[in-house]
Structure 1
């Protein structure tokens, strides 16, 4: 039984597209470094580190850092299936762009501004993939509003229910990080509609196609942005979520 489960997990990771697999290995490497005692806390995002210590790289590194093994497992479970599906359907370049620009920078900006000017807590930090998970869940639900509970609640509101549940029941979960990630996910169709994605992707694909598991741009896929196929079930529970610490 255990061997069968491990084999299924191995097969799943082997079939991941290029960018999804890359971010998975980056997060696992950072987690391994933290287990060995290597200081990784400076990768988390906080106003104090960015503007007092000038650690500007934190606006990108925070998503790859997780505070515990359980944290990273829950985030992998909620993120990787949706992210892999998106990359396979819409291309590696589109996946890189959507994750590293709106899905990363928007939650980072909201967190910095909120904790500096609203809560006056410059040292509170944010970390984890769950902002991405909420973004992909929201984008999926907006695009595919039909579901088994549609007679009771519209599917596009399900991420908000998850947001409420994680805020109440998950210790140190970042409401701001999750909410801003969900907002970025809801905005995904608008974002792709207002950028020259095809032109950008065609320039990158000529190089990216040299790499194994790189997914080229598919113009037909963009007739139905953002990601889901009809009949797709409800997305996975987002898990531990983005975590906060001092």
Structure 2
């Protein structure tokens, strides 16, 4: 452990950051901008957080803004630390346009709607939530499903535990160890990640034919640095089936890029 620390090379982190794809950079920049703005503008958290009773026709924007908002510096820092490697992996697999469309649309709207439904109808509460950890657990659940296809179980003692349950264990640990976390919010994010990993909501992704036309018309690959095109994705639009491409199946179903989130979704 000490030797690994002594061999730590900041240049590798710098190189990794400079190689991040475009959508990952953009979303991270917006998260940082929201944190800075929330410090300068005290009214912003109340305006942007997902407060179930405050969501109406004129405030539907809350379903898109709450993942960018954080309670404090450490909340934002650790969420970014967890989010970036997972998001980079997702964008490298599906491309920049698909990633941007999903994370500025359904991947915020659906977990938020599930949270409002659970909080208001089932729990009869009105707890506000905020934080990128909703996306962290969404991405972890997606990675867990990919891992499950190639490695269905891990063994603790004599007990076989399905690998797809890993994010659920992490959510429970975080809810016990980190104060003021939203267990319901994290579970809603993970639920959408499982649905995506099972390919049940892949129809939410824009049609690939249209994306190719947009890319070619606007020459996005030539104009935008770090852009990941539809035709340059690592595994293809919907992944590679292990039976059809064994050389890639191990990579596609490899270990999760980040093992957990240590921060809360909201206060």
- Report TM bin, short chain: 0.7 to 0.9
Q: 1:142, 1:186 within 8 Å by CA — same for their partners in 2?
A: yes
Q: Summarize deviations over 1:12-61 as a string: whole Å, max 9, x none.
A: 32221111100111111111122335432111111233239x32211101
CA distance in 1, matches of 2:109, 2:98: 16
| Deviation at residue 192 of structure 1 after TM alignment | 2.1
* Residues 29 and 116 of structure 1: CA distance in aligned 2, closer, same or farther (over 3 Å): same
| Residue 130 (structure 2) aligns with | 127
Secondary structure of the residue that 2:170 maps to in structure 1? helix
Q: What is the alpha-carbon distance in structure 1 between the residues aligned to residue 15 and residue 206 of structure 2?
A: 35
Deviations along 1:186-231, one digit per CA (max 9) or x if unpaired, are: 1112222675631232133233332211110137513526998246
Counterpart in 2 of 1:224? Answer: 239
Distance in 1, matches of 2:23 and 2:204, equals 23
Q: 1:190 aligns with which of 200, 209, 212?
A: 200
Residue 39 of structure 2 corresponds to which residue in structure 1? 35
Aligned partner of 1:233 in structure 2 is: 255
Provide the residue aligned with 1:24 in structure 2: 28
Q: Say how many residue pairs are matched.
A: 241
How far did residue 149 of structure 1 move?
Answer: 6.8
Mark the CA change 1:47 to 1:198 in structure 2 (over 3 Å): closer, same or farther: same
* Partner of residue 65, structure 1: 69
Question: Which runs of structure 2 are paired with 1:33-182 in the superposition (5 Å)?
Answer: 33-41=37-45, 42-51=47-56, 54-122=58-126, 124-145=127-148, 146=150, 150-151=154-155, 152-182=160-190
Q: What's the TM-score once normalised by structure 2's chain length? A: 0.79
Q: TM-score w.r.t. structure 1 length?
A: 0.85
8 A contact 1:94–1:197 mirrored in 2: no
Structure 1: 5+ residue stretches without partners: none
CA RMSD after TM alignment = 2.8
Question: SS at 2:154's partner residue?
Answer: coil
State the secondary structure of the residue aligned to 1:167.
Answer: helix
Q: For residues 91-136 of structure 1, give each alpha carbon's deviation from its aligned partner in whole angstroms, at most 9, with x where no partner exists.
A: 01121233233321111101222222233333x2111111111111
How far apart in 2 are the matches of 1:9 and 1:40?
A: 32
Question: Which residue in the other structure is 2:244 paired with?
Answer: none
